[in-house]
Amino acid sequence: MLVNSIFAGIERWPLSVWAREDDYAYFVALILHAWGMAFLVGAGIVISLRGMGVGSGAALSAFRGFLPVMWLGAALAIPSGCVLLVAYPAKALTNPVFAIKFACLIGAAMLMRRLMRHEVLPRNHRMLAALCLLLWLGGVAAGKLLLHTYHMLTVS
Amino acid sequence: MNVDPVINVTAVAQWGRDSGIYGLMTTRWGWPIAESFHFIGLCLMFGTVGLFDLRMLGMARGVQLRALHRLVPYGLGGFAISITTGLLFVMTAPEQYLHNPAFLIKLSLMLLAVLNMMLFYAIAARTVWLTGADDLPPLRARFFGALSLLCWLGVMTCGRVITAYRPPAYFWCPWC
């Protein structure tokens, strides 16, 4: 099968072999991924809560100062996530929960951008912020479920 | 193998079974759902408390610390979720946790973070509430913020280490 041969090809990449076989590589990537997700989703949750009206007394636009925290989170989570993905491509890419995680995180990031882009908030900003919060939480939950829902680890 | 006179792992395991927690956690979705809530709680806590700490360290000037502090109760709610789910893990598989150095360091860092928070409220909070939206709080408040941030990053790291490093009790039990 073509897909399996692609997975097998990725599994032969030096980065993939190193991530699987080195004593620390996979493990360090997991720690960095957890840090990155905590920064990214943690800040996302706070900005969503503020968008929903919690913590009145500070304008939502002032929370733009925390966007570098989210960028830092993404800078940690994305490369480490790529290492985890390259190590076991079949494990992630044959699991629908992985697609759900991605859809939630991309949806949350797009809604966050919409909430933070303008000085004047969209009229339905509370609903958007609540949806954004749900998507951040959904992304986290799906990420944790990945470990328990995969069907195959490697093809080679 | 030495016997632990302080922590009775067998008794904790028995308590987990008698209370029904072991049965619940070993169903198909028990452990995965608890894990999801554990990290959601951590994100809530780390988001609210961590951003408050970062604001104390000078980030996001323009956000009033007092206003940001109104989000902290949500973080405490997240912390309660994490503690509850964490207890479920320990009661289900105490042998994986109670003699694990990563777990013991994680508990120590959590204790340090809570003590740091109590000292913050006792010593520095009053001056922080008076800090203007664009100002930096006093140095001692920034110290509490930095220590809190480091503690929670350490807690997260230890949480990940627990899953991979599970030495036998005789390997790490100074009091045995």
C-alpha dist (Å) from residue A93 to A85, A146, B50 = 8, 11, 33
What is the Cα Rg of chain A in Å? 18
User: pLDDT, tens digit, for every residue of A7-27?
Assistant: 999 999 999 999 999 989 999
Contact A58 B133 (CB under 8 A): yes
Q: Which of B67, B70, B164 sits opposite A27 (nearest CB)?
A: B164
The domain locations on chain A are: 2-149
Q: Which pLDDT score, from 0 to 100, does residue B38 have?
A: 96
User: pLDDT, tens digit, for every residue of B51-102?
Assistant: 999 999 999 998 999 999 999 999 999 999 999 999 999 999 998 898 888 9
> Residue A17: is it exposed, middle or buried by C-beta count within 10 angstroms (0-12/13-18/19+)?
middle
pTM for this entry: 0.91
Q: Which residues, 6+ apart, have CB-to-CB distance to A137 below 8 Å? A: A41, A45, B40, B43
- Which ipTM was obtained for this model? 0.89
The residue with tokens 């920064």 is: A39
- B64 contact residues in A (CB cutoff 8 A): 57-58
